[in-house]
Chain A
Amino acid sequence: MTDAADRIVRSRAELLEGRPRVVEPRASDEGGCGVTGFACSIPVRGRHIYEPSVQMHNRGNGKGGGIAAAGLVADDVGVSQEVLDSHYLLQIALLDPKARGEVEEAYITPNFDAALSMRMATIDDFRDVPGLEVKPPDVQRYLLRVKPSVLSEFAERNGLADLPSREVEDEFVYRNSVRLNDSFYASLGEQRAFVLSHGRNLVVFKIVGYAEQIVQYYRLEDLRAHVWIAHQRYPTKGRVWHPGGAHPFVGLNEALVHNGDFANYHSVAEYLLQRNIRPQFLTDTEVSALLFDLWSRVYKYPLEHVIEALAPTTERDFDQLPEEKQRLYRRLQAAHIHGSPDGPWFFIIARSLPDEGRYQLLGITDTAMLRPQVFALSDGDVQIGLICSEKQAIDATLHSLAAEDPRFCPIADRYWNARGGSHTDGGAFLFNVEGNGHKTLTCTDKFGRPVTAGSASVRCDVPASHDAAASMREAVRDCLGRQDAQGLFRYAVDNLPAWEPDGLRSFCNALADEAREGQSMTPAIEALTLLRDRRYETGDKRRSSVLRVVDESLTALFETAVPFGTPNGIRYRRIDWDTRHQLAPPEPGEETLVVNVERFPPEGDECDSLLVRRAYEMGWRRFICYGYRGQRFAGCGLGPDSDGLRIDVYGSSGDYLASGIDGLSIYVHGSGQDQLGQIMNRGRLVVYGDVGQTFLYGAKGGETYVLGNAAGRPLINAVGRPRVVINGTCLDFLAESFMAGDPLDGGGFAIVNGMEFDDRGRLVSQPAPYPGSNLFSLASGGAIYIRDPHGLVDEAQLNGGELGPLAEEDWLLIRPYLEENERLFGISIDELLTVDGGAREPEEVYRKVSAVKLRVLAAKGEDSDDVGD
C-alpha cells in the first residue's frame, strides 16, 4: 500500500467515530438476478436498455431494478461538456421528498458549488407504468464541485494536502455521501434519502420494480450514454417499499451490478471494516462496489490486479502463469483473499474516467463460473460490446439498436464466455470506449490481450440494389427444380466472396421468389439453413451480416406458410401467438408445423413448448420453431418414445432446451443457452453453435452434437449411455462424476475435438483442447476421447481419471459418431486427423480419458451413505 493510500484509509476512521466496529449482518438474501450491459462507440439512447431488461423479466421478481449510464451527452444533461466532465454528478433518491431541504442544508450547500440542481423529470403518475406498484423515489440531481476552502480544510485535516487535488476531491465526495447516507438512511429508524450515485459523468437510478420501468418513469428513453448497465433483482424478502437495496451500487466512478450470492459476506465486510469502510446497505453488491473502489481508486491498482484480488487465479491455472505473474498474484492473494468474494457471482461494471476521456464496461466472473455469462462484440462503423446473463438478451439489445440505426447489426460478430480465474482470459473482459470527439471501442481480456471481431469489413445486409441477374435466377431455379439444397448452398458459398455487398441479398430474394412460385419450400429452407449452420469463407463480408441476411430470408420463407383456417397447398402450416387457439391436426399432405414463437411467454402455461406438445398429440411430427427470444423448455414434455418427432429451432432459444427428451430429435440452428439436455434419455440434440452452463446434467443417453464450445460443468452426473461430440472445448468441470458404464460395452462417452473456425471459416485447433482443470473428476464410468495430437492435456487436469492411448476398438466405436459429425457440420474426419499439415493415424491424434477404480469410490465401511434419500 502506498503512503497516500495508507493515509486515506487511516483518516477514514473519522467516518466510524462513535460507531461500534462490528459487522452488521447482511440485510437480505437474494440469489440470482438478471444483469446486462453494453458499451458503444457512439452514445445510445436509454430505450435500448429497455429491451434486454424486458427479456430478462423472469430473472427478477419486480422488487428491485436499477440502471446506470456512463459517458452522457452534455446536451442531454443541459450543461457544457466541460462542466459534465469536471463536476460530480450527484443523484440523491428522496424517499421522503420533504427531506430535500435538510439534505441540502447539511451536505450540499455548505460543501459544494453547484452548476446544476434539478429534480429529475418523471411521468405524472407512476401507475401509468404498467405493473409498477411502488412509487419510485424523487431523484434530485446536482452537478457539483467542492468549495475550495472546504476542500483545503479537508485535505489539511486528513493529512492529504500533498495529493493531487482531484484525488482529494474524489475522497471528499465519497465521504460526504457516506455521511449523508448515515444521517438519512443507514442510522435512522426511518429511511428518508440516500445517494444513488456521485461519480463524474455517471448516473444511477433504482426503483422497486423492473429495470425497464425506470426508463419509462424517469423518461430516459432519449437519454444518451456510451455505457449502460441494468439489473433485475430477485430479493426473497417480499415487501420492499424502497429501492435502497437495488443494484447498481457505486464506489465513486463506477457502478456495479451483480448476479449471485456470496458465502463470505461477513468476511468481506470485516475486511472492509478493517480499512475503515462500513457498508450501509448491507448487501453483497454494495460491498463488491466498495472493494472495487478501494482497490482501484485508493490503492490505484491496475484493473488486472483488481480483478485478481476479486477472482484469484488458482490450481493449475495459477501454475500456468508466467513466474513473474505468479509472484505478483501470490502477493495480491495473500493480501486480499479475505476480501475476495466467495461463491457464485458475476459482476458487470460501468466505469467513467472522464479525465482520460474513457468509459468502460467490465464483466468479471467468479473462479468457478457458477453464474451464467455471455460476452459479445460487434465491429463496424459503430462498435459495441455487450455482456449479459443470457445470449438472448444480447440479441434483444442488438435488435433494438439495429431497428433504430442501420449501422448496428442485429447479430454480433463474436459471442463468447469467460473462463473464471483462468490463465487464458482471466475470467474478465473489458470494453473500453475512448477518444476525443470520435470514440472507438476496444476489447481486452484481464491480461490486456485484445479481442477482435475479425478482419472482414463489408456488410452484406444492405438492401438489394437490383434484381438477381439472370444467371443467378437460372441457377436457383435449376437447383430448386432438382430439390438440390446442397447445390444452392454450394452456389452461394462459391460466389459469396466475389459478390457485390448486396449479392447475397439478391440471391436470397431470388431463392424466396422461386421457392414460393415453385412451391419448393423445402430445398430453399434447407439451403438457407446450411448457410446459417456451416462455416465457410465469406471474403470481405462480415459473417454477422451474412447471417442476418440468411435469417431474414428464412423468416420470410417461414411466413409464406399459411395460418390455420386458410386452404393450404404445401407441406407447411404456420401458427403464432395470435392464431394459437386455432391449432388443429395436420391435414393430408401437411407435414410441418411452422411455429412463430416470438410472442409466446418464456415459461408457464401459455408457453410455446406446451403448444408444440399439444400439436404433437394431434399428430404433428415435424416442427420448425422460429423467432425465439429466450423462450425456455423447447422440446420438453413430449414424453417417452417420441421417436420420429423432429424440431428445428431458429433464433435465440432459451434455457433447458431438450431437457428430458426421450426419442425425438432437436436441431438448434444457432447457439444454445444454459441447462440444455438435462436428464436427456434418448434421441438426438444437434447444436450449430455453442452451449451454455450445465449442459447434459444428469443425462442418461441419446446422441448430442455441438459445433462449438460448452461452457462450465457439462455432462455432470451423466449415466447410462450418452454419446456426445463437442467440436470445440469446455471451460471447466467436464464430465464430473460421469458414471456411464463401459463405453466399449454400451456405455457413454464424449468426444472433445478442441477445434474452432478462423476468420476465413477454416477449421483450426484451439490453443489447448481442454484448458481447464477438473477433467473427468471422480468419474466411475464412460470415457472422454480428446483430440490432443500434441499431448497438451496433462495429469494435473485430472482428478481420478487416467489418460491413455486410443485403442483400435475405441476408434471403431467413435468413428461412426465422427462420420455423423461430418455429415452435420462438414467437419471431416480427414481434417480432424490432419496435424500440422500431415495426415496422422487416429491413435496419434486422439487420447482417451477413462475411469479408474478409485478407493474413495469403492471404499468399504465408511460411515456415510444415503438411506433416507
Chain B
Amino acid sequence: MTSVIERPVTEAQAERRNGPPLETVERVVRPMPDRYRNPIGPYKVRRSADCRSCAVCVDICPYGVHVKPAGYNLPLRPRDYLCIGPKCAETDHYCVEHCPNRALSVGHNPTADAIGDPRWTSDLLLATWRQAETGSMTSVGDLEYRHGASGGGFDALRFRFPQTPATVAPEDVDTRLELNHRDDGRPRVTIDLPIYGGGMSFGSVSIHVMIARARAAIAWNTFTCTGEGGYPERLQPYDDHVITQVATGLFGVREETIQRVRIVEFKYAQGAKPGLGGHLLGDKNTPDVARMRQAVAGNALFSPFPFHSVYSVEDHKKHIDWIKAINARALTSVKVSTPTDVDMVAVGSYHAGAHIIHIDGSYGGTGAAPDIAKKNIAMPIEYAIPRVHRFLVEEGVRDEVVLIASGGLRTADDVLKAIALGADGAVVGTAEIVALGCIRCGNCESGRGCARGIATTDRKLIEQVQVDWATQRLINMYAAWRERMVDVLARMGMSSVSELRGRHDCLRRVRWGEEDVDD
C-alpha cells in the first residue's frame, strides 16, 4: 500500500545563508518491518516435533505466519507476530485445525503479556509497532489501540459521536495547524498534522534517531525538536523542520543554532519532573555528547531547574525579546509544566510575546525521569488543558496563541482528546520512540544506554537503528495516526481538526466501575 501526499515547499530555502542545502523527504508509506528477526506479537504459535513439513499451514494461512521458502525442507519458525490468535478458529483457515499431525498450537504470547504497563499497555505497544510497520490502522487488528488501561487520564475518556451519521467525507478533513496566530509580522508556519515532535537531546537519543525524527518531520511538514543537547551538524539539512530548544542549561545553544530555525522553544520545565531540571548522568556523557555540549566527558551534566536569568514574568518577556532580536523570523514557543497556576503562566507567556504555549503534563517522561517525580508533581494534563484554554478564552486572547499539550500523549486518540479539551495540537515524544522499537523497559539511563539502540550514544549500540528504517517507521506511524484522526473527525461531522478544539461535549468520561461501551 502506497500513498503520496503533496508537500508544500517551505520558504526560507532561498534565503538560507549557511549550511548544506535543505533536504526533502517524500511522504510515502512503505512497509517497514521490525528490525528484529522475531518481533514480539500478541500470540505465540508453536510447532511441535510432530510436524512433517507437509506445508498445509503455509498454504492456508493468509497472514503469512507460516513460511517455507523454496528449497527448504522445513517451514521457518512461525512468524507468529502476524497471527490473529485463537479467534482464527472461527475461520476456515485455522492452521491448528488443519494440521494433519496436530503439530501446531496457538496461545497468548507470554512475552507480550510481560511488556507494557497500564499506561502503555502491551496492546498499545504492539499496535504502535504495527502502525509503524504498515502505515495503516487496519493492521492493528483487534489490539486495543485507542487507550491504555490506567483507568484515569485519557484512558477514562471516550469520544461521543453524533447520533446522526456525519456527512463529511474523509478526504475533505483538514488536519493542518497554523502555528502563528499573532499578527506580529512574523511568518505563518503551517504544519500538516496538529502534532510535532518533542525535545529529545543528543545524548538522550542517538544521532540516527534525531535525524530520522527530522526526516519524518519533513515528510509530514511538521517539526522535531533538538532538546537540550546542542544542534548536531548533521541536522542542518533539516533546519526548516527543527525546533531549537533553549533550556536552562543552555547546552549547545549558540546564536547560530537560534538563527537557523523557524521555531525556538524555551523549556522552563518538563511535566514528568517539574522543578527538577535536567540531569544527564556521567555514564551517558560520552565523549561525543561532551563535545556537542562543550563539557567534560564522564561528568554528570545538570540543567538548573530555573533559568538563572528568569525569575519572573518580566524577565521571561525579556528572554523572549532576546531570542526575537537574534532571529527576526522565528516563532517562539514556551514549554512549561502544569503547576496549579499554569493558567496564569500561560497568560503571562502570551503577554510576553510567545506564539506557542506548550504545557507538558506529568504522564510523559522515559525511564530517565525519577519515578518519584513522574505523575506525582503538577497537575494532570487533562485538567490543565481545559483550565488554560478557558482562562485564555476569558482573557480574550485565545485566538492569538497556539496551545500545545504534551506529556504522555500516546496515540492519535490521545491527541484528539487533548484537542477536544482545548488544545490546538500536541507534542509527541515517547510514541515515536515506541515506533522505533522501544519496549518501555525503563532502563534508558543505565550503563551505555538503551539496549535497543535508541536512547544511547554508544557508537556500537546506535548502529542498531538505521536512519532510513527509522524514518520510514515514523512516517508510517503518522500516516496511520492521520487515518485515525480523519476517521474520528469525519464521524464527528467536522471538516477540520480546528473545529474540535475545546469541544468537551465530544468527550465522555468512563467512571470508575462503569461498563466501558464503545461508541
Cα–Cα, bound, A865→B289 (Å)? 14
Contact B281 A29 (CB under 8 A): no
Contact B444 A865 (CB under 8 A): yes
Cβ-based interface call for A869 (8 A)? yes
Cβ-based interface call for B134 (8 A)? no
Binary CB contact string for chain A from 15 to 34 against chain B (1 if under 8 A, 0 otherwise): 00000000000001111111
Docked complex: A22-79 residues within 8 A CB-CB of B: 28-34, 58-61
* A721: B residues at CB distance < 8 A: 294
Docked complex: B441-493 residues within 8 A CB-CB of A: 444-447, 455
Shortest A672–chain B CB gap in Å is: 14
Size category, A interface: 35 or more
A682's closest neighbor in chain B, by CB? Answer: B254
* B270: A residues at CB distance < 8 A: 868-869
A866's closest neighbor in chain B, by CB? Answer: B278
Cα–Cα, bound, A700→B371 (Å)? 33
Contact A234 B321 (CB under 8 A): no
Known A656-B318, A866-B204; judge A28-B308 contact (CB<8 A). Answer: no
Contact B227 A236 (CB under 8 A): no
Contact A660 B445 (CB under 8 A): no
The listed residue (B248, B313, B368, B370) touching A868 by CB distance below 8 A is: B368
Tally inter-chain residue pairs, CB-CB below 8 A. Answer: 263
Binary CB contact string for chain B from 295 to 328 against chain A (1 if under 8 A, 0 otherwise): 1101111111000110111111110011011111
Contact A236 B311 (CB under 8 A): no
Contact A660 B326 (CB under 8 A): yes
Cβ-based interface call for B143 (8 A)? no
Contact A29 B344 (CB under 8 A): yes
* A868: B residues at CB distance < 8 A: 198-200, 204, 227, 270, 272, 364-366, 368-369, 429-430
Contact B200 A737 (CB under 8 A): no
* A60: B residues at CB distance < 8 A: 314
Contact A236 B313 (CB under 8 A): yes
Contact B250 A717 (CB under 8 A): yes
Contact B201 A694 (CB under 8 A): no
Contact B312 A33 (CB under 8 A): yes
The listed residue (B205, B245, B322, B351) touching A659 by CB distance below 8 A is: B322
* B327: A residues at CB distance < 8 A: 637
Contact B371 A863 (CB under 8 A): yes
Contact A866 B201 (CB under 8 A): yes
Binary CB contact string for chain B from 333 to 375 against chain A (1 if under 8 A, 0 otherwise): 0000000010011011001000000000000111111110000
Cα–Cα, bound, A660→B284 (Å)? 27
Cβ-based interface call for A237 (8 A)? yes
Shortest B341–chain A CB gap in Å is: 5
Shortest A39–chain B CB gap in Å is: 25
Majority SS of interface residues in chain A? loop
Cα–Cα, bound, A603→B443 (Å)? 45
Known A632-B322, A637-B255, A863-B371; judge A678-B366 contact (CB<8 A). Answer: no
Contact A344 B311 (CB under 8 A): yes
Known A30-B313, A655-B318, A716-B304; judge A238-B395 contact (CB<8 A). Answer: yes
Contact B311 A31 (CB under 8 A): yes
Known A32-B315, A859-B282, A859-B300; judge A698-B325 contact (CB<8 A). Answer: no
Shortest B506–chain A CB gap in Å is: 28
The listed residue (B308, B347, B429) touching A237 by CB distance below 8 A is: B347
Cα–Cα, bound, A636→B367 (Å)? 38
Known A632-B318, A867-B455; judge A371-B312 contact (CB<8 A). Answer: yes
Known A237-B347, A632-B321; judge A719-B300 contact (CB<8 A). Answer: no
B251's closest neighbor in chain A, by CB? Answer: A719
Cα–Cα, bound, A435→B334 (Å)? 53
Known A31-B315, A58-B318, A662-B254; judge A865-B279 contact (CB<8 A). Answer: yes
Cα–Cα, bound, A865→B443 (Å)? 10
Docked complex: B260-305 residues within 8 A CB-CB of A: 267, 270, 272-273, 276, 278-284, 293-296, 298-304
Cα–Cα, bound, A607→B321 (Å)? 10
Cβ-based interface call for A610 (8 A)? yes
Cβ-based interface call for A640 (8 A)? yes
* B302: A residues at CB distance < 8 A: 717, 737, 778
Binary CB contact string for chain A from 852 to 869 against chain B (1 if under 8 A, 0 otherwise): 010011111111111111
The listed residue (A609, A701, A869) touching B199 by CB distance below 8 A is: A869
* A306: B residues at CB distance < 8 A: none
Contact A741 B314 (CB under 8 A): no
Cβ-based interface call for B256 (8 A)? yes
Cβ-based interface call for B259 (8 A)? yes
Cβ-based interface call for A592 (8 A)? no
> By CB atoms of chain B within 10 A, which of A34, A679, A862 has the most?
A679
Binary CB contact string for chain A from 655 to 692 against chain B (1 if under 8 A, 0 otherwise): 11001111000000000001100110100000000000
Cβ-based interface call for A789 (8 A)? no
Cβ-based interface call for B185 (8 A)? yes
The listed residue (B272, B293, B315, B370) touching A863 by CB distance below 8 A is: B370
The listed residue (B273, B298, B311, B445) touching A858 by CB distance below 8 A is: B298
Contact A867 B254 (CB under 8 A): no
Known A236-B351, A636-B322, A866-B303; judge A31-B445 contact (CB<8 A). Answer: no
Contact A29 B348 (CB under 8 A): yes
Contact B309 A693 (CB under 8 A): yes
Contact A59 B314 (CB under 8 A): yes
* A659: B residues at CB distance < 8 A: 322
Cβ-based interface call for B249 (8 A)? yes
Docked complex: B211-226 residues within 8 A CB-CB of A: none
Cβ-based interface call for B413 (8 A)? no
* A259: B residues at CB distance < 8 A: 312
Cα–Cα, bound, A784→B332 (Å)? 36
Contact A610 B325 (CB under 8 A): yes
* B341: A residues at CB distance < 8 A: 29
Known A719-B251, A866-B279; judge A636-B325 contact (CB<8 A). Answer: yes
**Could you pull out 14 A-B pairs where Cβ atoms are within 8 angstroms?**
A28-B344, A60-B314, A344-B311, A660-B326, A681-B255, A700-B294, A778-B302, A859-B300, A866-B278, A867-B200, A868-B198, A869-B201, A869-B227, A869-B245
Q: Give 7 closest A-B pairs by Cβ, nearest first.
A: A32-B312, A698-B250, A31-B312, A865-B445, A31-B313, A865-B368, A720-B294
Interface residues of B (CB under 8 A from A): 18, 185, 198-201, 203-205, 227-228, 245, 247-251, 253-256, 258-259, 267, 270, 272-273, 276, 278-284, 293-296, 298-304, 308-309, 311-318, 321-322, 324-328, 341, 344-345, 347-348, 351, 364-371, 394-397, 429-430, 444-447, 455
